[in-house]
Amino acid sequence: MMLSFADVSFPDIKTSNDAINSNSNENSKKNIEMSDRTIKQNIEDINIEDNYIKDNIKYYKNFAIIENEKSKDNSHKRKNIKDKVETTVKPFVLLYDENNKIKILTPFDEFYDQNLLNYIDDIWNLIKTNKSPDMIKHGLHQLLINSDDKTIVSYLIKHRMLQKIMEQVQNKPELMVLSNVQRTLAVGIWHGGVESVRLFLEFACDSTPPTTMNNELTIDKFPVLRSKHVYIKDKIAVLETINAIRQSGASNLQIVTDFDLTLTKQHIDGRHVLSSFGMFRHCKQLPQQYLDKAKDLYNKYRPIEIDPEMPVNKKADAMRDWMMAAQNLLKGIEFDPHELEEVAQAFDNILRDGTEEFFKKLYNVKVPIIIFSAGLGDIVEAVLRYHNALFDNVKIFSNFLKYNGSQLDGFKNDMPIHVYNKNECALEKNYLKIFQKRQNVLLMGDTIGDANMVEGIEDTKAVLKIGFLYEHVEASLNSFMENFDIVLVDDQTMQVPIEIIQNIL
């Protein structure tokens, strides 16, 4: 079955007798009575082949269905049906099957709620992503101007759709094909400006350069994104970002990622994985006094770092204090850096499955990888080197050990990097200036602070943010979904980033 058109009216639009032609009031009332009496089946029983429509049909679980026979050669029947539905006060949806049978779907009275607004959003998204049935693929303007004899559309829904389009145009001026279309369309909302609607829709549906909508990637290209552990707040926005990155190519892309618990696993068989500082504490040269005090700092500040209830500003203050204390604790310790390579070998299974493959693919297409780590940069380098992943395109910005002779003297960087100041450090040191021509970003992290790593950096365009979540999932999921485009719950692999890269590069 193919979705031919969906039509809704809204409680905020007056549909009283005054709003309907008096000659059609009687037909309208009869149609409403028919809608209430005739319930053939629930919407869930309809066999809809289009997966996108099927996925979004949840808004219509309370719809009743009225069936009317319609023949291709029976134009008078078609006109009678059209006359009835155009004067119907209630919302309705029209479906056609392959045999040209019409189904009119109407909701029960209590269905006036936010779901109707959601449906208009869905229709707009169908238009933009070309994931609609054939009718919309051939141009929504045919529907709005009634040039298609299969189209039945009410006056109210025309206005509602035009309002929705206008809202989108105002937010995306690049969609305007002519300088006066926006003004004309605004007038057209109330005066039936068909020509302006046609111009806009032809541009939006048929003239998107340089990649046409038919060539854009769809969700079907990313089977892993349908996994139960993958959470996406706005699939349409994610696809738009992915397609924008794909259109610009590898030369305009950079990867910005955290290290601890992002490139490394969050757990192995249920046991928490050590951070880079945690691995550093396995160096045999370190005195027990240092180890004890470092552990005390961890026990004090780690719960604050992962507390889903604590405000970010308080967390940031605590993380700054932690890094300052950690830096001071290092001073005066005799240390031979060669042991770092041995420690990296001892944790040979710490990287997420597929990390080496991910890095290799990016190296082959010359996409830079920028690692912002609030951990210890010396360990980050040692781990990547051991796994043959420290390619020329990898740049690490982290807390690196500073030496005074053979003794440690804190960190080289003046401003210790913690999870909530990575973007500040990037701006302070102009770390990303060498990549300023690369305006698209694939960002990965495991904390809310990581989601802001590229905030404040000028000229970024398409930014896709992937968040890895493991601890306090129930309490943290909503905030993660607000800050990341894709949230992966208890995923210890690089499967999702790899699949995205494979499709866009």
Q: What percent of the chain has pLDDT over 70?
A: 55
**What is the end-to-end Cα distance of the chain in Å, rounded?**
36
* Residues 201 and 247 placed together within one structural domain of the fold: no
Distance CA 425, CA 258 (A): 14
**Lateral strand order in the sheet of 63-68:** 2-7, 92-96, 102-107, 63-68
Q: Residue 225 pLDDT more than 80? A: yes
Bigger pLDDT: 2 vs 126: 126
351 DSSP assignment: B
Confidence of residue 192 (pLDDT cuts 50, 70, 90): very low
Lowest mean pLDDT segment, chosen from 23-37, 362-376, 426-440, 445-459: 23-37
Angle of the 235-248 helix axis to the 495-504 helix axis, nearest 10: 50
pLDDT in the model for residue 387: 96
pLDDT in the model for residue 5: 28
Residue 312 counted as domain residue: yes
Write down the mean pLDDT value for the chain: 68
148 DSSP assignment: S
Q: Active site includes 260? A: yes
* Residues 177 and 286 placed together within one structural domain of the fold: no
Domains: count for the chain: 2
Q: What is the CB neighbour count within 10 angstroms for residue 367?
A: 22
Most confident of 2-16, 23-37, 298-312: 298-312
* Residues 194 and 251 placed together within one structural domain of the fold: no
Bigger pLDDT: 247 vs 83: 247
| DSSP labels, 40-82 | ---GGGS----HHHHHHGGGGTTEEEEEE---TT-HHHHHHHH
Looking at 7, 260, 378, 485, which residue is catalytic? Answer: 260
Nearest C-alpha neighbor of 39 from the set 105, 94, 121, 83? 105
* Residues 191 and 306 placed together within one structural domain of the fold: no
At 295, list the tokens. Answer: 């552990």
Distance CA 296, CA 403 (A): 24
- Cβ density class 230-264: b for 16+ within 10 Å, e for less: bbbeebbebbbbbbbbbbbebebbbbbbbbbbbbb
Distance CA 253, CA 366 (A): 9
Q: What is the CB neighbour count within 10 angstroms for residue 296?
A: 12
How much is the pTM?
0.59
Looking at 73, 83, 220, 258, which residue is catalytic? Answer: 258
- Give the residue-averaged pLDDT of 247-263: 94
Question: How far is C-alpha 386 from the chain's CA centre?
Answer: 34
pLDDT in the model for residue 22: 34
* Residues 182 and 268 placed together within one structural domain of the fold: no
* Residues 154 and 298 placed together within one structural domain of the fold: no
* Residues 183 and 123 placed together within one structural domain of the fold: yes
Distance CA 446, CA 257 (A): 9
* Residues 194 and 240 placed together within one structural domain of the fold: no
Distance CA 331, CA 344 (A): 23
Confidence of residue 252 (pLDDT cuts 50, 70, 90): very high
At 256, list the tokens. Answer: 């910005």
The residue range of the domain holding 271 is: 235-504
Distance CA 502, CA 222 (A): 10
Q: Which residue type does 374 have?
A: A
Q: Residue 394 pLDDT more than 60? A: yes
Where a domain ends, among 183, 205, 227?
205
Residue 47 counted as domain residue: no
Residue 2 counted as domain residue: no
Question: Are 173 and 25 contacting, i.e. CB atoms less than 8 angstroms apart?
Answer: no
274 DSSP assignment: P
**DSSP reduced 3-state for 496:** helix
Q: Residue 68 pLDDT more than 90? A: no
Distance CA 259, CA 115 (A): 41
Q: Where are the beta strands (DSSP E) in 180-276?
A: 230-232, 253-257, 267-268, 271-272
* Residues 294 and 386 placed together within one structural domain of the fold: yes
- The per-residue pLDDT for range 11-26, each reduced to its tens digit, is 222 222 232 233 333 4
Residue 55 counted as domain residue: no
Bigger pLDDT: 288 vs 174: 288
Distance CA 196, CA 189 (A): 10
Most confident of 43-52, 146-155, 495-504: 495-504
* Residues 143 and 245 placed together within one structural domain of the fold: no
- Give the domain CATH number at 361: 3.40.50.1000
Question: How far is C-alpha 300 from the chain's CA centre?
Answer: 34
Distance CA 176, CA 174 (A): 5
Residue 74 counted as domain residue: no
What's the chain's length in residues? 505
- The per-residue pLDDT for range 308-341, each reduced to its tens digit, is 889 888 999 999 999 999 999 999 999 999 999 9
In sequence order, the 6+-apart residues with CB closer than 8 A to the CB of 363 are: 391, 392, 393
Residue 98 counted as domain residue: yes
In sequence order, the 6+-apart residues with CB closer than 8 A to the CB of 498 are: 354, 357, 358, 361
Residue 24 counted as domain residue: no
Residue 19 counted as domain residue: no
* Residues 448 and 331 placed together within one structural domain of the fold: yes
* Residues 248 and 339 placed together within one structural domain of the fold: yes
Question: Are 127 and 204 contacting, i.e. CB atoms less than 8 angstroms apart?
Answer: yes
